[in-house]
Chains A and B, each alone.
Chain A
Amino acid sequence: MAALVEPVPQGGAARPNIASANIQLPGVESYEQVDREIAGTLRPTSGWFALLGIAIAMFLWGAGSWIYQIYWGLGNAGYQPPVMWGVYIISFVFWVGIGHAGTLISAILYLFRAGFRTTIYRCAEAMTVFAVMTAGLFPIIHIGRPWKFFWLVPYPNWRLIWPNFKSPLVWDVFAISTYLTVSATFLYVGLIPDIAVLRDRETNPFRKRLLAVLSLGWRNSEPEWRHFARMYLFLAAFSTPLVLSVHSVVSFDFAMAITPGWHTTIFPPYFVAGAIFSGIGMVFTIIIPIRKFFRLQHIVTINHLDAAAKLALFTSLVVGCAYLIEFWVAWYSANEFEQSYFWNRVFGQWWWAAWIMLSCNMIFPLSLFSQRLRRNPAWLFILSILINIGMWFERFVIIVPSLSHEFEPWQWTSYIPSWVDVSILAGSFGWFFMWFLLFIKNLPVIAIAEVKEIIPPPLRSHQVPRDVDVAGHHLDFSPETPGERD
């Protein structure tokens, strides 16, 4: 254990963890080093091929299971009426939730000038896009006649049939498609200067041409940077409400139905907090192996992880508070259906699922109050896996126990996922990691341009370093700041 724990820097009163704009990267010395080290991660390795092969195999297995399910009917999933929603909707909410951390980190933290986002935001944002792509599949997998899914989309038609704008599922269509569009755009816009770097370093003419097109002819000129900064700021501002609205809309899928355990006004903030929490969990799951295997510990520093862990701790506390309020509301409402449901959830039939949720999301993250553990990547990785499991079970606990223990006792039931459910869930991880693995070997997983912004600029005699950042804000940057150890 001791070897895993990176020592807290000595220095008496000096607080080592600075979750502010003052994030420093003493291990990075020059722009050339940034280009070299980050572009260097793009070289495929045999380990990467192996992981990609596993991801594609999982995806194909899941896709095959889905075709099987379409042919023989949804009965091959584990549904047990009235538990009409199961693993697919759970996974839908899970993946949408994961897709929240990226935009939170890249947009909201950008607006808040939280410096620790710089090195992890690209990874989180790519994760967002792929998670939303994954999430978007699940409603289609879930419905009885997936070949008719486009009926949920309001398209002009001869018979003037429109979707029901009162239905939260239609809101979902808008919310998810908007979110996917905006977050993909945001990811791409942020990538433009980095793609230009890759273009300049590329020797393969075909790839060079492709990268030239993708970089939109970026020439690193000042007007380009000015436009870029404005665009980026605008998109950040545009994405910020989406972070809050998308998962609020997803929570309406539940809150708008009168089912006990669902019909509650606390759901939108509760879901948003949960989504951010799960997203940060997934960011840890991804970034910790990346910084290790790409040898980027000096770029994604312990300080970054520490700061992100505080965010995880905060959202965990919000989520835990929501859990407790739910129980309180059930008690205070004097509604026998709610009370019976919550009792059954925690002490009855579903105690095991509820306690997985409570311990993974509310109890284990309390460990992050300890600075030593916050700065221990191994523990953060283990905890992130627990958070992922816990957040999957949170959605399980919301969906399955509610439906299995509703108003009508005669229809109380149970639920066990079938092999098809599990295969498609595994397939979704395969699909997600397939895209993610392809991403990290084709585009820089760390934002080259933004890292360059926080390292000392090259001292060139004819140019005085500017003390404003790309967005025009003043930096309190001082090269004399004591360095950080990796």
Chain B
Amino acid sequence: MSQLPTQPVVKRREFLKVLGSAGAAATAVGCSQERVEQLIPYITSPDHTVPGVSTNYSTICRECSAACGVVAEVRDGRAIKLEGNPAHPVNRGALCARGQAALQGLYNPDRYRGPMVREGSQLVPATWEVALQRVRQQIAAVRVAGTGRGVRFVSQHESGSFGGFVDQWMAAAGFGEHLAFDPEADLAVRAVNQAEYGSASPALDFAAAQLIVSIGADFLDGWGSSVSQQLSFAAARARLAVAPRFVYVGARRSLTGLNADEWIACRPGSELSIANAMLAALIGGGGPTLAEAATAAGVSEAALQAIVDVLRTTRPSLVLAGVGTPDAHLVAQTVARINKAVGNVGPTVKPADGPVGLGATVGAQAMGALAAEMNAGSVPMLFVRGANPVYSLPRVLQFAEGMQRVGFKVSFSCYPDETAELCDVVLPDNHTLESWGDSEPVAGTLGLQQPVMDPLFNTRAAADVLLDLARGDAAMASRFSATSYRDFVMARYPGGREAFAQALAGGIGSGSTLTRAAPAPAMLRTTSAPLTGDGEFYLIVHPSPVLGAGAGANKPWLQELPDPVSKIAWQSWVEVHPSTAARLGIRPGDHVTITTPAGSVTAPAYLYLGIHPEAVAVALGQGHTAYGRYAQGIGINALDALGATVDGAGRLAWTQARATVSKAEGRSPLVTTEGSARQHGRGIARAVTAAQLAAGEARQDAHHEFIGDASHEFLPGLRAPVANDAQGDLGDPASGSKGMYAPDHWSGMASRRWAMTIDLARCTGCSACVTACYAENNIPTVGARWQGRSLRPFHNANSGWDTTPGANILKGREMAWLRIERYFEGGEDGAADFETRFLPMLCQHCGNAPCESVCPVFATYHAPDGLNVQVYNRCVGTRYCSNGCPYKVRYFNWHGYGEVERRQYAFPEPLNLQLNPDVTVRGKGVMEKCSFCVQRIRDAENLAAQEGREVAPDEFTTACAQACPSRAIVFGDAASEQWSVSRQVEDQRAYHVFEELNTFTAVVYLQKVNHPGGPR
């Protein structure tokens, strides 16, 4: 019997292995590594889980207080994509960028993995038993001390039962107030609306209006329910020649302002006099004259007069107010009276249709009072869930200092944000996509929230934890019969469990769960308040349309998404008017210090035409000192320069101070995706006036005469046979064998022509499509501070690594397959007003593609159904295709964004769980670009083939078109009369970008329609 040798002996196999690997190591530095992974099939599959097949769950988005309905696509137990719920009355299938990015909250690599307790100066992981025990002890201690009334609960405001539940819990425990804090909510407008219309948030029907006037109400930027407002606004714009003219009054042209036909650039703080003068001009009575208001605001009287004239004669119209000054409530009040005076209440302002479940919301005033209480030592215990008051309140309120004087702080935060970092115990909440809940977005309709997957980490729903604490407490146990929050929600649902279960699949129920009337937002002050400070400039602070008031900052998709206005990502910036900049000697990127009585901030300057010359503007959202790897240390927090001034309803006045502006030391290049903001007459984003459109002149006007111009046989429709493909003579009519490219081939592929139309009259530039594309197509984000070039000698003395946030974007290396180009027209010669055109630019899937013929290895080629296909596995990375592309829509993997072992890896655990299994994650060195969501096309074709039918018209669409809250994008088969897209391409506004290059693009743009002033 032979014995195995105990001594290590080099066996033949091992020898060969070593030899082989040594040889490979010597030659294959940087080669792709084939890692062995185990694929173990389910022995017993979980219910409703078929590997590789998606399950969709309806739930609610909680990224802002609008509570849109979403459908989560879940594959193998992981949510991989959020889409709007088409049945939901608020968003009707659309979803904004912030909503899309909820997934990156769910899979955020910095989420708390489990409960944390404070040991000395830091939080350390603990078990739930230990953490809950500490909370119970403290509750008992508070009871003993008899200071229970001082306990406070601060939560993120969200509609539905949760607010009431917490109220109930606090009451049962004998504790004090529950503050539902929403830094973004326009409390002044809500309070005025409640008083004037009887509804805090009446539904706004833009489509019914003949004129839209917005005084600072950024209804596309996050003011109110953005998605539903955008749907309605786009519907209004889709009336084309008879669409309402839109006038924006404000000191800063926000995204909403950029969509206006006219901008009245008033001085900050003068909105009230404009509104008053307009009201006076309409109904008489007291108030300044238009001339006085125009002088005070520094605008032309004629412009105001023109608005008043139209308001007087054209009905209905829609006037909105949403200013950030301390007088916000007064402006809102005047505007409400204008709406009443001209008969808009009913036709365009619909109090009956608004969301009812908004509930009580507090702003900075109440939070400031809380901070004062805390600093006074009268708050023994503080619970925080969702909100991040340490970050989202001005520093002068001293909330963080107050936290130090609170005996015991409990956070339910998912993320290590500034507030959670100061707490004594962190009991991490489930993410909203892992939680139960409900909302009441519209009177009589309930949105249902359900977990779409098991909790990723050792977390528990905050409400369940509260119930657990209640059960363990003799005083409270009897007050709560439900054993879980799910039971609590179900029990309240009209019709009970069965009805709830039945409605759950659709995500929508009917009825109301309001146990008490939503408290009317209180008007705390009715007087006017002046702007403080005495600087030369006004400081305008505004929430970012992408990051909100800061909650979005830890999601790389949102950090990477260029601001729709400035096109800057991963950075804070100060908007300065070019004339002001010239006067102060400020160049783009120069550091600028803004000093107010409350403090100062310094950020690089961005020269922006859309800011009043006497104002500077800074967006909220950046400047986090905690909140995870993506948020921390990027930009500045504009609140550092704001004092405690609030408007009449207690929300922080974002425009409250005059400031001095000075050029500071240093300079940071702007992390922008913008090359030139001007079209240089190239006819890329085109527009017609409503009058031209009505006269049928759109087509003639659209077409520039170029020498060597293309024939118009193919335009604007796309009935071209599959154009020349790169593979030889298949495009040759004399060729006998065309294979799959023959229209009568059994696959039928060549009889299709996938195409897209983008209606620039609808597009608002909101960029929801961009984030949807990131989510669907596994596009890496490249701007995090560790994703730059690995070594930059002579750059930074401390570190060889280039840690500039957005370093790759500074080098133009963003990977967005779909980008929104923002072109300005006019305004160069000192004119205040200018026009903005947004143009979503993606691969045009040219019928005669310049990229295809130059690829040496056929990595890009033309599919029979008109797609310009990119084969990642075949690509060797010559990048010749990009040089050929006139649209510049090809993106190269400069670093190993898809490679775990590289520092630039874009999907650190568990962000990789979001990756779409249908789409390859690209390695370094290959080219990529928009595929028209080829995975969706093939999925639909396969499904149809399985079911033995043709693909039905408009059966599916691309991710960008699906998300678009403006419904600007239509995708489909242009070769079939049945699909909507084939009708869209026949529109008289249709044009191709650079049609003179004979590329025969499959993306057709429909011209924007402008509504200049003057008589219709």
Contact = CB atoms under 8 A, between A and B. Distances in A.
Interface stretch (B335-343, B420-428, B850-858): B850-858
B887 interface: yes
B442 to A, nearest CB: 39
B280 interface: no
A169 B790 contact: no
A82 B727 CA distance: 26
Contact of A70 (B30, B878, B887): B30
B850 A258 contact: yes
B31 A147 contact: yes
A164 B925 contact: no
Contacts of B682: 336-337, 407, 409
Interface string A152-192: 10000000010110111110010000000000000000000
Contacts of A168: 854
A408 interface: yes
A234 interface: no
B684 interface: yes
A257 B890 CA distance: 15
If over half of B's interface residues share one DSSP class (helix, strand or loop), that class is named, otherwise mixed; here it is loop
Interface in A267-283: none
Contacts of A76: 789-791
Contacts of B880: 167, 169, 253, 257
Given A152-B857, A167-B856, A410 B876 contact: no
A114 interface: no
A139 B789 CA distance: 22
B891 A164 contact: no
B925 A408 contact: no
A412 B884 contact: no
A116 to B, nearest CB: 40
Contacts of B925: 73-74, 143-145
Contact of B857 (A85, A139, A163): A163
Contact of B894 (A68, A75, A340, A408): A75
A142 B882 CA distance: 14
A411 interface: yes
B703 interface: no
Contacts of B875: 144-145
A456 to B, nearest CB: 55
B877 interface: yes
A81 B860 CA distance: 19
B924 A73 contact: yes
A149 B680 CA distance: 40
Contacts of A142: 878
Contact of A74 (B31, B853, B894): B894
Interface string A46-84: 000000000000000000000110111111101111111
B883 interface: yes
B848 to A, nearest CB: 11
A3 interface: no
Contacts of A147: 28, 30-31
A394 interface: no
Name the interface size band of chain B. 35 or more
B675 A412 contact: yes
Nearest to B808: A75
B926 interface: yes
Contacts of B896: 72-73
B812 A413 contact: yes
A151 B874 contact: yes
B857 A413 contact: no
Contacts of B948: none
A460 interface: no
Interface residues of A, number: 59
Given A144-B926, A149-B876, A166-B726, A411 B895 contact: no
B478 interface: no
A257 B879 CA distance: 12
Nearest to B821: A410
A169 B854 contact: yes
Given A75-B895, A151-B857, A166-B726, A409 B679 contact: yes
A83 B811 CA distance: 10
B937 to A, nearest CB: 24
Given A167-B853, A407-B994, A413-B675, A70 B877 contact: no
A284 B7 CA distance: 67
A170 B31 CA distance: 23
Contacts of B876: 143-145, 148-149, 151-152
Interface string A399-410: 000010011111
A256 B888 CA distance: 17
Contacts of B144: none
A84 B857 contact: no
A241 to B, nearest CB: 24
B997 interface: yes
B239 interface: no
A370 to B, nearest CB: 41
B678 interface: yes
Contacts of B738: none
A369 interface: no
Given A73-B924, A409-B679, A81 B883 contact: no
B839 to A, nearest CB: 8
A94 B901 CA distance: 36
B886 interface: yes
Nearest to B857: A151
Contacts of B684: 408-410
A262 B854 CA distance: 14
Interface of A: 67-68, 70-76, 78-85, 139, 142-145, 147-149, 151-152, 161, 163-164, 166-170, 173, 253, 256-259, 262, 333-337, 340, 403, 406-413, 418-419
Given A72-B895, A82-B888, A147-B28, 20 more contacts: A70-B29, A73-B893, A75-B813, A75-B904, A79-B892, A79-B894, A81-B891, A82-B885, A144-B877, A151-B874, A152-B856, A166-B728, A258-B997, A259-B884, A336-B680, A406-B888, A409-B675, A410-B819, A410-B823, A412-B676
Nearest 6 CB-CB pairs, A to B?
A: A144-B877, A144-B925, A75-B894, A70-B30, A412-B675, A409-B676
22 contacts: A68-B791, A72-B789, A75-B808, A76-B791, A82-B888, A85-B879, A144-B876, A144-B892, A144-B927, A145-B925, A151-B857, A163-B858, A164-B853, A167-B854, A169-B854, A169-B878, A257-B854, A333-B707, A407-B994, A409-B675, A410-B676, A411-B812
